[in-house]
A and B are shown apart, each in its own frame.
Chain A
Amino acid sequence: MLEVEGLVVGYGKIAALMGVDLEVGEGELVAIIGANGAGKSTILAAIAGLRPVHGGAIRFRGRRIEGLPSWSRVRLGLALVPEGGRVFPDLSVEKNLRLGAFTVREPKQHLELVFSLFPVLQERRRQRVGTLSGGERQMLAIGRALMADPQLLLVDEVSMGLMPKLVPEVLETFRRLRDERGMSVLLAEQNAREALAVVDRGYVLKNGQVALHGSAEELRADPQVKQAYLGA
C-alpha cells in the first residue's frame, strides 16, 4: 500500500529525516514511535504532501507520489488527521465533516460511517465545534479525515491532549476501521505503550532515522524499547 524509501526532509539546512525506509501493507496498522522531535510528524507531513521532500521516494499503491500536491494525494486515497486535530472551531460539527468530504462526490454514506463510529458527533452535529470537549474534537478530526474515504489513514499524535482513559478507546477505532473496512493506518505516536498495544508493527524513530522496527510483540519485548519508551 505505502512504501517509503530513503526519505530525506530538511528544515532549512537542518535535516529532519535522514533516509527513512518504511512500509505499510494493505489492512495493516503501523505505528511510528519515538521521542519528541525525532521526526515522526515530519514523516506523516511528507507523505501527505505538506512538506517538500528533498530525497527518496514515496510510493502509494504502486505510484510515485512525492512530487504530487497534497490535494491530489487525498484524491488518491490518503487522508491525514493532523496533530492537534486542527478542526474549525467556528463551524458546526456537520460543516467540518462536510469539508472533510471535499474531494468526495457522495458524502452521505461516509457521514453515516462516521456517526456510527462516533455517535456523540451525531448528537452534536449542529453544535459549534468550539463548544466540544478535547476528546470530541479529536474524534471529529478523525471523522473529518474519514470523510475523504481514504484507503490509508495517517494519524499524527492522536493521544496528545486526550484524557488518558480515552486513549485506548480512540486507538481501538483504528482497529475497527481495519477489521470492518480493510483500511490501513499509520500512526505517529508518542504514547508508545498504548500504540504498541493496538498496532501490528512499529518503527522506532531516533534523530531522523529508523533505529529499530518489528512486530508490536517484538518491540514490546525489546529491552531498549522497554527502557526508553515504555518506562519499564
Chain B
Amino acid sequence: MPIGYILTVGTFTGIFMILTVSLNVLTGYAKQVSLGHAAFFAIGAYASAILTVKFGLSFWAALPCVVGITTLVGVFLGLPSLRVSHDFLVLSTIGLNFIVGSVFRYFSFFGGSMGIVGIPMPEFFGHPLGTAGFFGLTLLFVILTILTSFYFSRTWGRLAMEAFGEDEVAAKAMGINVAKFKIYAFAISSAYAGIAGALWAHYVGSVFPDNFGFDRSIDILAMLVLGGMGTIRGAVFGALVLQMLPEGLRVIQNYRMLVSGGILALMILFQPMGLLGRGSFLVKGFERLRGRLVSHEAEDMP
C-alpha cells in the first residue's frame, strides 16, 4: 500500500473525526438531532474556497474568517430550534441540506454547479504542504478539536446542555437559560464543522454542491451513533470505523448509503448509546470485567 494512499485515507478520516466530535456537541450533549450537519461542513468549505480563490487570502488568513462565518451561521440556523420540538427540528435540519445546496448551486457567486476549483494547498513558510504535511495539519486540528471539546465537556455548559437535552422543563426550573445554550450548541458545533470544511476544500482542491448532500449528513450522524452519542471517544471511534471500513472492503463503497442508513437504523433500535457510549454493551462488559477483578481482590480479604 503506497504511503500517499494511507495518508490520504488518514486525512479524510481526521476530517470526519472533527465532524463527528462537532456533531457530538449538538446531538450528543444538547440532544438536538441534526440531519443537516453536512450543510455546516459545506459552508466552511465554500467560505474558505471563496476567500482564498476569489479574494486571494491565504489558507491561514481565511481560517479565522471561516470560523467566524460558520459560528454566525450556526447561531442563525440554530434559531429555529428555539421554536420547534425535537421531531420537527430533525425535519428542519433535513431541509438545511437542500437550502444550502441550492444556494451554492443556483448563485453564480458560489460557482453554480461548476463549483469552485483551484483551491490552493495551505503554505507553510512559503512552501505548499504535501500529502504528508497536510496529514500532519489535519492531525493537529483533530487533536485541537478533541482537546477543546474535552475541555468543554467538563464545563457547566455541557452539563446545562445535557440537562435540557434530557428534560427541558426541569432545566428551565433550575434556572438554565435553555435558549442561550441551544444557540451555543449550534454555534460551537458549526464552528468545528467549518474547520473540517476548510480542511476538506483545500485538500481536495475543489468544491461542488454535490459534495455536501443529505447523504453526507446521514454519514456523519451514522458515525456518531455507531460510536456512541454523548462521548468524544464514541465520536472519534465511529468516524474511524465508518471511514476506514469502505477502504478495506471495497464492496461497501458501492453501497455506502445502504451501510450508513442500515447502521443508523440498527443502532437506534438495538444500541442507541452506540458501541462506546455510556451504558453500551461494550462499556458495561468492560466495567463488569473490572468490577470482577476488584471484587475478587475484595473477597480475598478476611
Binding site for B on A (CB under 8 A): 48-50, 69-71, 73-75, 79-82, 86-88, 90-91, 95, 98-100, 102-103, 144-145, 148
Q: Indicate if the CB atoms of A71 and B169 lie closer than 8 Å.
A: no
Is B30 in contact with chain A by the CB < 8 A criterion?
A: no
Q: Indicate if the CB atoms of B176 and A50 lie closer than 8 Å.
A: no
Chain A residue numbers with a CB within 8 Å of B151 are none
Q: Indicate if the CB atoms of B159 and A75 lie closer than 8 Å.
A: no
Task: Give which listed residue, A49, A75, A88, A144, contacts B172 with CB less than 8 A.
Answer: A49
Among B170, B171, B176, B178, the one with the most A-chain Cβ atoms within 10 Å of its Cβ is B170
Complexed CA–CA distance, A6 and B84 (Å): 30
Is B102 in contact with chain A by the CB < 8 A criterion?
A: no
Task: Give which listed residue, B174, B177, B179, B279, contacts A99 with CB less than 8 A.
Answer: B174
Chain A residue numbers with a CB within 8 Å of B171 are 99
Complexed CA–CA distance, A74 and B278 (Å): 31
Is B229 in contact with chain A by the CB < 8 A criterion?
A: no
Is B160 in contact with chain A by the CB < 8 A criterion?
A: yes
How far apart are A156's CB and chain B's nearest CB, in angstroms? 9
Q: Indicate if the CB atoms of A74 and B174 lie closer than 8 Å.
A: yes
Among A69, A99, A148, the one with the most B-chain Cβ atoms within 10 Å of its Cβ is A99
Chain A residue numbers with a CB within 8 Å of B124 are none
Q: Indicate if the CB atoms of B177 and A87 lie closer than 8 Å.
A: no
Is B166 in contact with chain A by the CB < 8 A criterion?
A: yes
Is B1 in contact with chain A by the CB < 8 A criterion?
A: no
How far apart are A205's CB and chain B's nearest CB, in angstroms? 21
A98 (CB) vs chain B CBs: closest residue: B159
Task: Give which listed residue, B167, B173, B179, contacts A48 with CB less than 8 A.
Answer: B173
Q: Indicate if the CB atoms of B173 and A99 lie closer than 8 Å.
A: no
Chain A residue numbers with a CB within 8 Å of B167 are 86, 88
Q: Indicate if the CB atoms of B173 and A80 lie closer than 8 Å.
A: yes
How far apart are B279's CB and chain A's nearest CB, in angstroms? 8
Chain B residue numbers with a CB within 8 Å of A99 are 159-160, 163, 171, 174, 176
Chain B residue numbers with a CB within 8 Å of A86 are 167, 169-170, 173
Chain A residue numbers with a CB within 8 Å of B173 are 48, 50, 70, 74, 79-82, 86, 145
Q: Given A71-B176, A74-B175, is A88 in contact with B169 using a C-beta cutoff of 8 Å?
A: no
Is B270 in contact with chain A by the CB < 8 A criterion?
A: no
Knowing that A69-B177, A70-B172, A88-B170 touch, tell me 15 more A-B residue pairs with CB under 8 angstroms. A48-B172, A48-B173, A50-B173, A71-B176, A74-B173, A74-B175, A80-B173, A86-B173, A88-B167, A98-B159, A99-B160, A100-B174, A102-B163, A102-B174, A144-B174
Task: Give which listed residue, A69, A80, A90, contacts B278 with CB less than 8 A.
Answer: A90
Chain A residue numbers with a CB within 8 Å of B278 are 90
Chain B residue numbers with a CB within 8 Å of A48 are 172-173
Which residues 123-171 in B have Cβ within 8 Å of A in the complex? 156, 159-160, 162-163, 166-167, 169-171
Q: Given A50-B169, A82-B169, is A88 in contact with B174 using a C-beta cutoff of 8 Å?
A: no
In the assembled complex, 13 residue pairs joining A and B whose CB atoms fall closer than 8 Å, in A order, are A50-B173, A69-B179, A70-B172, A71-B176, A71-B177, A74-B175, A79-B175, A82-B169, A82-B170, A99-B159, A99-B163, A102-B159, A148-B174
Chain A residue numbers with a CB within 8 Å of B177 are 69, 71
